[in-house]
Amino acid sequence: MKSEILKKSFALASSPKLTVGLLAYSVLLVFAATIAQTSVGIEVAKSEFIESFVAFLSIGIMEIPIPGGAAVGIVAFVNIIASGVRFIGFDTKGFGVSITHMALALLLLSGGLQYFMRDEGRMALRIGETSDIVVMSASQDSTRTHKLPFKVHLKSFKEEKWQGSNIPKSYKSVLVFEKGSEKIEAVVEMNAPAAFGGWMFYQMSFGEGGNVSVLGAVRNPARFLPWLAVGATFVGMLIIFIPRALQSGSVGSRK
Amino acid sequence: MNNKNYALILGIFLAAAVLITPFSLWQVWFGTPIYDAAFGDSLGTLPVQRAGRIMPLSSASADVLRQISGRTSSKTSSGDRLSSTNWLWRLAAYPELSSKDPVFRTDNRDLQKLLGAKGRYYSYSQLLDNYEEVYAGATSGKTPYAEACTEAVESAIAYALASNALIPRFSDTSNAEKSLENWKEAVETARKEFESAQKEKREPNPEKLSEANRTLQLLKECSDFEASNPDSILRVVPSLNGEFSTPTAVALDRKSGEQPNKIILLYSQIRDAIASGNKDLAYSKLVQLSDMLHSSDSVDWFRIKLENLYNLADPFFCGFLLYSLSLLFFLTALLVERFRDSLKTIAVGLLSFGTFVHVLAFCARMYIQSRPPVTNMYSSIVFVGGVAAAMGLFGYFKTLKSYFGVSAAGVGFLSLLVAMNMPYSGDNMGMMRAVLNSNFWLTMHVVTIMVGYCGILLAGSLAAFRLVANVFDKGDFGLATGETSRSVYAILCFALVFAFAGTMLGGVWADMSWGRFWGWDPKENGALMTVLWCAAVIHARALKLCSDRIFLSLTVLGNIVLAWAWFGVNLLGIGLHSYGFTDGGWLWFGVFVLCNLAIAPLGFIKYKKVDSN
């Protein structure tokens, strides 16, 4: 009896219908979240639709509860693992399928980890200013800050435009990280952040005609997990598809 | 020689005819080599810097025209057609006459009525006569009328800037060279007066300063106007250090006693020669000017000439015509059994030429821009259309199945139709903003994802073609459906790999530039939706959850998801990917969605014979 229930729940967890259903449902959920973003903003829609177990779809005056992103993520994780066990194959294709899907499970997992482990804030520094305070969130009533274990000094900021235009070409801040007697100079540019003491610093914006540089400061121990997962998924996909593509006649059938 | 060979020759002949069409139309309509020559020196090949990019005058003038009229040629009030280069020179040579030409366009009925426009087009003088009302309308809120007024005001600014682009702004507009000389003399007189006043320890005589003062005032006003619109002005005067200036700025900058800058002097002489109808003189001055410009190193002439040739040859228009003809021949071949093979041969010939021209054109754009093929919405459409057509053509040669040919021609046709009719949103080879200024990431993320989109689009159109064809096949389409569905599945798998890699590389790029891998930004959501849908459809077939027909229906629905990710989210106008935003377009987006929604249910039509599944 007990094994019967286990068998049935395993069959359900690894059901192909569940896989396709989840994928199709995710498309709709992400679509609903995108539409909601136009009215409540990106951040609110993200926490209501993606980071929640239950989201509420408002149609007219009705509020319909639907499974949120967190719920979908967990079910998808279970489904991927269970299907992986159920349909495991030991040829090249099976190997590729296993890698792809395990990597996707890792991607889902790392998405969850980012939610718990990632800290993000901003630092607005005037040229010549030194600070160790990162503003984590600011609203009208309160400002949450974080004190860094080191100091950041903005040595210079430069905004470059394409010659003969008003179109920005690059933004560049020269920072000096100061910890005790240690002083390290680093350049932060658009698309090229700098790292120090477990934090990454990004060029976000600037103010006061280029006298203030606004930096994004992020601490994320799980930063490379998605990179790894994505890379592994891609490799897995190549293992599945390259042998297929090499077989002649794979595009359409033969005459 | 059999029929097929004749057909092939006919196809090549037709394609060649289409390819020379823009050139010949150019000759018939515009026919003045002094303005536009494909290879030699012409007024259109003079180097100009606009919004930071150095381009031929033919591109800069076409860009201004596109902004104000939506077209790249213009019509005079007497109905003559002018190329964009010709139009710009006419603006300098005959400012009064040009202001009567109906070159501005508005689709707003209320504004048309206010301006007394004939149809959609109106002239600069009509706009000036009602400028106050139009300006008031532009600040009246967020109605379509207000938007039309804002556009009109912006167009007026672009026109005014263009009218001072080639010669400095002086009060006497009849003779540019003389005005330049007068300005030199006025400055000289003023200098002498100042010197003698200083020597004689008296106040300078205001009368002797008045001419210089007046012109100075005018030049300063014009120069301030230019400075407040840095991305719209045409800078035609290159300096030794590679920076470009406008003639007005150069004239204003001139110290007394200095000779007028030789480049603006030659520009003025050309303008005067055109105004007096002396084309030979204009041409000889042009040759002098070209020689002088060639001696400076700040201009890459090969690039300029190539871009000018690209403008004249209009390869996307050629491609569009070739794709349309190819589609026509393919569809006729499907309906007429007797000449089927010959018609198909012609269609394939046309399609091959169309794809070749299309791909060649975006390679030329890559070279001109020194960028990967996709840098903005326009280039993404052109690229996806070209690559999808090439993939379809490859599929055709591999399988010899018409549906590949029809889909390739259809995708190419649609992409160029959309690209040619996109609303104006600046130079489509413009400079890249700071965050996008990375060829590495543009290639890794954008090009990869676009190759994925090519696959989804091609698969979607193959599926759509099959489902529509099934209606005409009187129930006997089990085999064809199975065959198409295998091809579609293979293409979708290919598309999934690229769309997934492209989307996730976007995550890595975002992690590098914004500090987060994924931020649920609308554009990211769109890309994710395409990947998820693609995966859903692939799994549905791989796990045998649906028949071939339903699989094709689901693929057709993928077109909608793709259109949403590609265009729809840009229409929302929120998020960090603002460099892709476009105005308008909901209508065409809706039409595309409805077409696909209408085709998808055709998958429910059953076979007469046994299902191939």
Each residue's pLDDT tens digit, B275-287: 999 989 999 999 9
Could you write out the DSSP letters of every residue in B475-544? T--HHHHHHHHHHHHHHHHHHHHHHHHHHHHHHHHHHHHTS-S----HHHHHHHHHHHHHHHHHHHHHTT
Residue of A nearest to B572 (CA): A38
Mean pLDDT (whole number) for B248-268: 80
Residue A96 has a pLDDT of 92
Worst-scoring range by mean pLDDT, A107-111, B38-42, B396-400?
A: B38-42
pLDDT single digits (tens) B314-335? 899 999 999 999 999 999 998 8
Question: What DSSP element (H or E) covers B292?
Answer: helix B279-294
Residue of A79, A167, A188 to mutate, interface with B, max B Cβ within 10 Å: A167
pLDDT at B612: 46
Q: Does the pLDDT value for residue A250 go beyond 50?
A: no
Angle (deg, nearest 10), helices B522-542 and A16-40:
160
Pick from A19, A164, A190: which is nearest to B435 by CB?
A: A190
**What is the per-residue burial (b if ≥16 Cβ within 10 Å, else e) of A73-82?**
bebbbbbbeb
Q: Which two tokens stand for residue B521?
A: 């930004």
Distance CA B315, CA B21 (A): 10
Percent of chain B with pLDDT over 70: 94
Q: Which residues of B touch A31 (CB under 8 A)?
A: 525, 529, 564
- The confidence band for B259, taking pLDDT boundaries of 50, 70 and 90, is low
Locate B411 and state its tokens: 């995708």
CB B164 within 8 A of CB B246: yes
Mean pLDDT along residues B115-125: 90
Task: Determine contact: B426 vs chain A, CB below 8 A.
Answer: no
Q: Does B561 touch chain A (CB under 8 A)?
A: yes
Nearest to A197 by CA among A225, A177, A214: A177
Q: A191-195, A245-249, B529-533: lowest mean pLDDT where?
A: A245-249
> pTM here?
0.89
SS (H, E, C) B155-177: HHHHHHHHHCCCCCCCCCCCCHH
Residue B2 has pLDDT above 80, yes or no: no
Please determine, for residue A253, whether its predicted confidence score (pLDDT) is greater than 60: no
**Distant-in-sequence, close-in-space partners of B287: CB < 8 Å, separation ≥ 6:** B41
Minimal C-alpha gap between B131 and chain A (Å): 27
pLDDT tens per residue across span B209-220: 888 888 899 999
Residues in B closer than 8 angstroms to A196, CB to CB, are none
Q: Is A218 on the interface with B (CB under 8 A)?
A: yes
What tokens does B203 get?
A: 């106040």
What is the C-alpha separation between B147 and A137, in angstroms, rounded?
A: 37
Classify strands A62-67 and B237-238 as parallel, antiparallel or unpaired.
Answer: unpaired
Q: Which residue has the tokens 């080191």?
A: A150
Average pLDDT of chain B is: 88
- Say which amino acid occupies B200: E
The ipTM is 0.91
Which of A2-16, A189-203, B262-276, B422-436 shows the lowest mean pLDDT across its residues? B422-436
- Predicted pLDDT at B1: 56
Give the best residue of B240, B517, B544 to mutate against chain A (max A CB count within 10 A).
B517
Of A66 and A140, the structure prediction assigns the larger pLDDT to A66
CB B334 within 8 A of CB B401: no
pLDDT at res. B404: 93
What lies within 8 Å, CB to CB, of B515 at 6+ separation is: A120, A193, A200, A202, A216, A218
Specify whether the CB–CB gap between A80 and A222 falls below 8 A. no
Nearest residue of chain A to residue B230 (CA atoms): A165
Q: Which residue has the tokens 């889909």?
A: B407
Tens-digit pLDDT profile for residues B363-381: 999 999 999 998 888 999 9
**pLDDT score recorded for residue B581:** 45
- Judged by a CB distance cut-off of 8 A, whether residue B401 touches chain A is yes
pLDDT greater than 70 at residue B258 = no
For residue B394, the SS3 value is: helix
Greater pLDDT, A23 or B204:
A23
- Supply angle C-alpha B278, B282, B287, rounded to 5: 150
Tell if the CB–CB gap between A16 and B490 is shorter than 8 Å: no
Whether pLDDT at A239 is above 90: yes
Q: Which one has a higher pLDDT value, B63 or B423?
A: B63
Res. B553: pLDDT tops 90: yes
The residue of chain B nearest to residue A172, with distances taken between CA atoms, is B434
Confidence of residue A252 (pLDDT cuts 50, 70, 90): very low
Higher pLDDT, B319 or B580: B319
User: What is the distance between the alpha carbons of residues A88 and B272, in angstroms, rounded to a whole number?
Assistant: 82
Of A193, A223, A234, the CB nearest to B501: A234
What pLDDT was estimated at residue A255?
Answer: 33
Mean pLDDT in residue range A2-25: 91
- How confident is the model at residue B480, as a pLDDT? 84
Instruction: Inform me whether the pLDDT recorded for A31 exceeds 90.
Output: yes
> CA of B146 to nearest chain A CA: how many angstroms apart?
23
Query: What gap in Å lies between CA B555 and CA B538, rounded to an integer?
Result: 9
Asked if pLDDT for residue B583 goes beyond 60, the answer is no
